[in-house]
Structure formats: structure tokens, C-alpha cells
Structure 1
Amino acid sequence: MKRRQFMQTAAAGAAASTAIAMPAIAQSNPEVKWRMTSSFPKSLDTIYGGGETLAKTVSDLTDGKFQIQVFAAGEIVPGLQALDAVSNNTVEMCHTVAYYYVGKDPTFAIPSCVPFGLNTRQQNAWLSNGGGGELFADFFKKYNVHAIQAGCTGAQMGGWFRKEIKSVADLQGMKMRIAGIAGAVLQKLGVVPQQLAGGDIYPALEKGTIDGAEWVGPYDDEKLGFSKVAPYYYYPGFWEGGPAVHAFINIEKWNALPKAYQAALAAAGAVATNSMTAKYDVQNPPALKRLVAAGTQLRPFPQDVMEACLKASNEVYAEISAKNPDFKKAIEAMAAFRSDQYLWWQVAELSFDVFQVRTRAR
């Protein structure tokens, strides 16, 4: 074969190959446009930003073929109705916290956090590699959603209060904004729990409709202005040692995605989780300094409050487990994982941290 004829034949073959390959690529990477409703206002750039991080990462991983538009709480549906919007296919997905939906089933609390549950690293480990993710997959299917972890705030604060808490007796009759199973726990000690979206907390505190409120931590709490209407800031938020944030995806929409796009969403969730925790870790220390410098009264919960709340938590878990097999299975799995984790933590992590804190204090 002459050289010119060979080159012409090779070029024709390459063109034919491209003609075959291009439609196949286009077919396997379709243009997809989804809407994601958030349970958070845009002003809370760290927790709301977790949804934006997820959306941007998905776009980057798919060369812009898979676009997710993020909507703040209230733009499509109220923040506490995000799960319903996904279940009934009003939107393809949402960015929210599972414990907002304990009214549907208290089991929703456990994949986010429960009082005296897991810390941040333990929660992330359990959901991603410790069996927690698989355990909840079947549960979430009952609500027509697929779940991907897409955030974790780190240990939260115990909240803002208009009056000082000196003992368990001071909780009697207190009206407090608190979400999830923690509300049922504190109710045993006389607290009247209220579930309010983030944007509704400040006016309720200001008007005296509630006596106390918890949200996340110094960075977000400073933005929401709670220190102006409630001077006492308590720690720790024992009900939220490592709360996970989730992306809930309509199950039919999830199943229809190409495998590559499912993988992109899963990877983006991991990016959002790590990014959110890191951002809070960076932003909380200076925010706490600013709050204290401006007059915030920082207080630890009294020991009798912590002990009473632990006892009440165990009572609540036993009561729910007696009539809810899904909850029983999940809380027992979480407790077993926590036990092994703290066996390790007291050897290495905790002893290191305690020494570092004492060194700093000196």
C-alpha cells in the first residue's frame, strides 16, 4: 500500500471511530438539571454553603453536564418541609438535617445525632465505613429518598438563655427552641421544647416567646445575633456531639442517574462533609472570642444537669425502642459502635487532647 493511500485509510478509520465514540459519550453523560432546596438561610454561609459545595463539586466532576441549583429555605418550601418536597418529587433533592423529621419517625434522629451519641469523627466513620450508611439505606427508602451525608458541623454549643442555669430545677417550665429527640429528653426535666427554623429563633427570643435556644455554634450564632437578646451561652451541646447533615435525593431520580453521576454525587457529599467541618473549626474560635469580648457570659452546664439529661436520654431510648423496631436496631448499633470508639479514644485521642488543653492553660 502506498504511503498516501495508507494515510487516507487511517484518517477515514479515525473519523469513523470518532463518529461512533462521540454519540456514546454524549449518551453516557447527559445534560441533567436538578433543584435542591435547603433547610438553611443563605446568611449561614457555612451550613448553607455545604449545599453549594456539593453542587459545585458535582458540576466540576461532570464537566458541567450535571447542574444542581441550590435554593435557600423558603424559596421553594419552608426549611422544615424539605424532606417532603423530595419525597413527593417537588424537587429532586434537598440539603437538611434528618432529626428535623422525628415527627414522622424518631429513627430519623440517629443518622444525624442523638443526645450523648457520637462525636464528629465517630459519626462520620460510622456513616461512611462503620455500617451506619447501609443500616439507614432501607429506612430512608420508606420515605422515597436516597441519602448521602453532605456535612457535619462538629460538636455544637448548648445554646443561649435569657436566665442563668444553676441546677436542674432551673429547667422547669423553660420554653426552649430545640430540635429532634433532645426535645423529648429535656421535656422529661420540665422543658417545653419548640421546633423553629433558624430564621425564626431571634424574634422568638427577643419577644420572650421562648426562654432559650440552641442552633449550632459561635460562628453561626454570632451571625444570627442571639447574644443581643440572651446573654448566657452554655456548653456543651450534649445532644449534638457530631451532627451530620444529609442530602436527600428522590429515589426514582437517583435510580435514573448514570452510575458516573451517582458516583459524582457521593464524592461531592464527602467533599461537602469535610469542608463544612473544617470551615466551622476555622471560624468558631475567633467568633467565640468576639462574643465573649462583647459581653457574652460563657457557662458550662452544671454537672447535675448533665447527669439528669443522660439518665433522661436513656429512658427515652428505652421507651421508643419498646415500640419502634427500626429505632431499636439503629440505637443499639450506634451504642455498640460508640463503646468501641471510646475504648480507643481514651487511649489515644482524648489523652492527647487533654494534655494539649492543659498545656495551653499553663
Structure 2
Amino acid sequence: MKYLTLLCMAAAMLLAGCTRPDPNVTTLTYASPYPPSHPFSKADITWMKWVEAASHGRIKIHPLWSGALLSSDQSMEEIRHGVADVGLITPIYTLGNAHAQRAQVGFYGHVGSIAQQVGVYKCLLATFPVLRDELKGLHVLAVQGGNLPGILTRTRAIHSLADLRGLRIRSPAENTAVLRALGADPVDMPMGAVYPALAKGVIDGVIAPADTLKSLNFAEVASHFATLKVSRGAYPARAMNAARWNALPRDLQQILARSETVWEDALNQQITTAEQIGRAYGEQHHVAFVPVPAADQARFDALYDRDSAATAASLIRFGVDGTPIFQEAQRLIRSSPDGSAPLCPPAAPNTRQEPK
């Protein structure tokens, strides 16, 4: 499918060959695995409109939606190799060479907000070179946080952690050890495969935020949402091919650098709104929202912290000293107990640039 799309693009370019391109306009391709109706894509469109307006038409964005060019597990490599100029990247799903980026998402126990997630990540990025090294070949344009997930189940309500025993739950990698400790059977599968798996009873539930009740139609195949707060972190989610970035005129680079805040604010707004819409949609479809006792939340958080520390230590097998990253993430979260973005330690010069 991707190669067919590329051939179609090439054919379109050949057909348009009789029209001389405007030398004052830079066209950038943008690729995403999501359709334009998805909340992530709505934020992307807000960014596109802002960039085109701020550049007075000197930058045009050509979007390619619905996975036409990018995959979830190879998106970083695909952008590095110029499959698209700019794209949605998912280091949390990549199959290799981003071990610290994947693991750090699980170091955010007790985080309070999307703004805090993004702020902590940016502080970690400025402090630990390994995180920057894993982004070689990319210029990051936006960092993304997310709503804290709960546990959505088909037919069995989760009133306490004891109710998880024996259930097959689709889980992010950073939560699998915690679920095993609670007697559940964690399952690793792409989020796109969860709906049919729930519908057929292949799995009993999924760790997911409430926005998925509508955005992924989970309200059609599950009946209970346990409001256990499952911590999660931020990650670099929109990036540009580094060579393409370096080839841009300085003034256009400055416009794109300014667009970072615009993109992150749009993502925050869309993600937050999607959570509210998802909850309302779930209630309309008779999904029961089940509170979890405070003592169970505290126990879950303790297990999460213990597993995060173990994951951080295990990164040494990849030559990464993960323990200081975990410890700094926790220090930053504790430094802003109101859930606001923390103040970062002074950064070394040029830490925001991609490695050469």
C-alpha cells in the first residue's frame, strides 16, 4: 500500500510537471497513521494552518493520512530516511534503537497532568544525552502527553485489584509486570487489533483512556471502565527529517521552532476534549464507570514505582544507565505537586538540537 501511494504521488508530480513550482514556496509532506477525523489529526491540522499562515504561504503542508506512508513500529526510521518530511513518530512502539525513549514513558508514577508529562520529558531530554542520541536523524517538532488510562473490561467489573486475577488484559509494555504481579495475564497487541479481540472475547479488557470509548468505538464491545489511574509519560511524537530541516532557510526554521508550542497546545486541547467526549459517549452507551478504593490505587502505584525502578536498572544491558533517568523523573514530579510543568535544571548549550 505504501509503495502504491508513493507511485501515485510520483505520477501526480509528473502530471504536474508542466506547471513550474513557485521557488518561494516550500512544500513539506506530513504523514500520520491516523485518519483526519482523529483527535491527534485535528491537532495536526491546527498546526498546519498556523504554519502556513505564520509563513505567509511560504510553507505549504501536504498531508498523507491513515497510514499511507508511516507505520507505528518503524515511523522513526521512515522519517529518518525521508519517506515523509514530517510525521507522527511513536518511539514507544519502535522495535529497536530507542530503548531509553521507550522505557522512560514508564517512569512517570504519580504524574498529574499532560502539561507535567511534557515538562518532565523536556527536562529529561535536556539532562540525559542518551535520549537525544536515540533521536539522531530527527528534528523533534512536538512532544505529546496523554490522558491517564483506566482499565476497560468486557463483562466483568473491576471493583478492586483482586478482580484482575485471571483476566487477559491488553497492556502497554510498561504495565505488564504490574499486571502479572496482580494475577492478570497481560497481552501485547497493536491497539488497532483490540476492538475485534474484545468483541470475540480473545481478551477480557484493555488499559486505555476513556477517549477510546468513542475514538476507537470500545463502548460497543466493553461494558465497564475502572477509574484506576495508570500513570504514563510523554514522548517525542512529531518530528522532521533532520537533513530536510537543515536544508531549510533560517527564517523558516524559526517559524517551525515557534510552532512547537502551537502544536503541543493543540494536542493537549484535543486529547483533553476527547477524554470528555469519550466519557459522555460511554455513559450514553451504558458503560459503567467503577471507582477503585484509595488503598488499591496506592498499592497499584507502589507496584508501578517498583517495576519502573527495575525497568530503569535493566536498561544497563543496552548500555544505558536508566536509574538516574528514573530518579530524576520522580524528583521533577515531586517538585511540582500541583501537576504543573516543573522547572528544568540549566541545560547545556544546543541540547534541543538533534545530534549530528
TM-score, normalized by length of structure 2?
0.75
- Structure 1 residues 259 and 216, CA gap change in structure 2 (3 angstroms): farther
Once the two structures are superposed, the pairs formed by residues 92-111 of structure 1 within 5 Å of their partners are: 92-101=85-94, 104-109=97-102
Unaligned runs of 5+ in 1: 1-28, 347-362
Q: Could you tell me which of 126, 149, 153 is aligned with 1:157?
A: 149
- The offset of 1:257, in angstroms, is 2.6
Q: 1:190 & 1:216 partners in 2: Cα distance?
A: 22
Conserved 8 A contact 1:95-1:247: yes
Conserved 8 A contact 1:102-1:181: no
Secondary structure at the aligned position of 1:148 is classed as strand
Conserved 8 A contact 1:186-1:309: no
Conserved 8 A contact 2:103-2:174: no
- Structure 1 residues 169 and 281, CA gap change in structure 2 (3 angstroms): closer
- The offset of 1:308, in angstroms, is 3.5
Q: 2:128 & 2:48 partners in 1: Cα distance?
A: 23
The one-letter code of the counterpart of 2:256 is L
**CA distances 1:241-266 after superposition (whole Å, capped 9, x unpaired):** x6456212223323333332222223
Q: 2:148 & 2:307 partners in 1: Cα distance?
A: 21
Q: 1:148 & 1:113 partners in 2: Cα distance?
A: 22
Query: Do structure 1's residue 230 and structure 2's residue 222 form an aligned pair?
Result: yes
Query: Do structure 1's residue 256 and structure 2's residue 247 form an aligned pair?
Result: yes
What corresponds to 2:117 in structure 1?
123
Secondary structure at the aligned position of 2:84 is classed as coil
- The offset of 1:160, in angstroms, is 1.4
Higher relative contact order (CA 8 A, sep 6+): 2
Once the two structures are superposed, the pairs formed by residues 10-89 of structure 1 within 5 Å of their partners are: 31-44=25-38, 46-89=39-82
- The offset of 1:108, in angstroms, is 1.5
Q: 1:265 & 1:173 partners in 2: Cα distance?
A: 49
Once the two structures are superposed, the pairs formed by residues 159-308 of structure 1 within 5 Å of their partners are: 159-162=151-154, 163-218=156-211, 220-240=212-232, 243=234, 246-303=237-294, 305-308=296-299
Secondary structure at the aligned position of 2:117 is classed as helix
Q: 1:244 & 1:176 partners in 2: Cα distance?
A: 23
Conserved 8 A contact 1:39-1:96: no
The one-letter code of the counterpart of 2:216 is L
Q: 1:286 & 1:142 partners in 2: Cα distance?
A: 35
Conserved 8 A contact 1:174-1:211: yes
Q: 2:253 & 2:37 partners in 1: Cα distance?
A: 29
The one-letter code of the counterpart of 1:120 is I
User: Comparing both structures, which one devotes a greater share of its residues to helix?
Assistant: 1
- Structure 1 residues 183 and 99, CA gap change in structure 2 (3 angstroms): farther
Aligned residues: 311
Conserved 8 A contact 1:141-1:251: no
**CA distances 1:311-330 after superposition (whole Å, capped 9, x unpaired):** 32222222233243353232
Percent of paired sites with the same residue: 20
What corresponds to 2:12 in structure 1?
none
**CA distances 1:265-311 after superposition (whole Å, capped 9, x unpaired):** 23222112112222344454354234224311101234454233323
- Structure 1 residues 334 and 272, CA gap change in structure 2 (3 angstroms): same
State the superposition RMSD in angstroms: 3.1
Greater CA radius of gyration, 1 or 2? 1
Q: 1:189 & 1:166 partners in 2: Cα distance?
A: 14
Unaligned runs of 5+ in 2: 1-22, 341-356
Secondary structure at the aligned position of 2:27 is classed as strand
- Structure 1 residues 193 and 35, CA gap change in structure 2 (3 angstroms): farther
Query: Do structure 1's residue 147 and structure 2's residue 153 form an aligned pair?
Result: no
- The offset of 1:97, in angstroms, is 4.1
Q: 1:326 & 1:57 partners in 2: Cα distance?
A: 39
- Structure 1 residues 110 and 36, CA gap change in structure 2 (3 angstroms): farther
Secondary structure at the aligned position of 1:79 is classed as coil
The one-letter code of the counterpart of 2:230 is F
**CA distances 1:206-255 after superposition (whole Å, capped 9, x unpaired):** 1122211234333x421322112110012244223x64562122233233
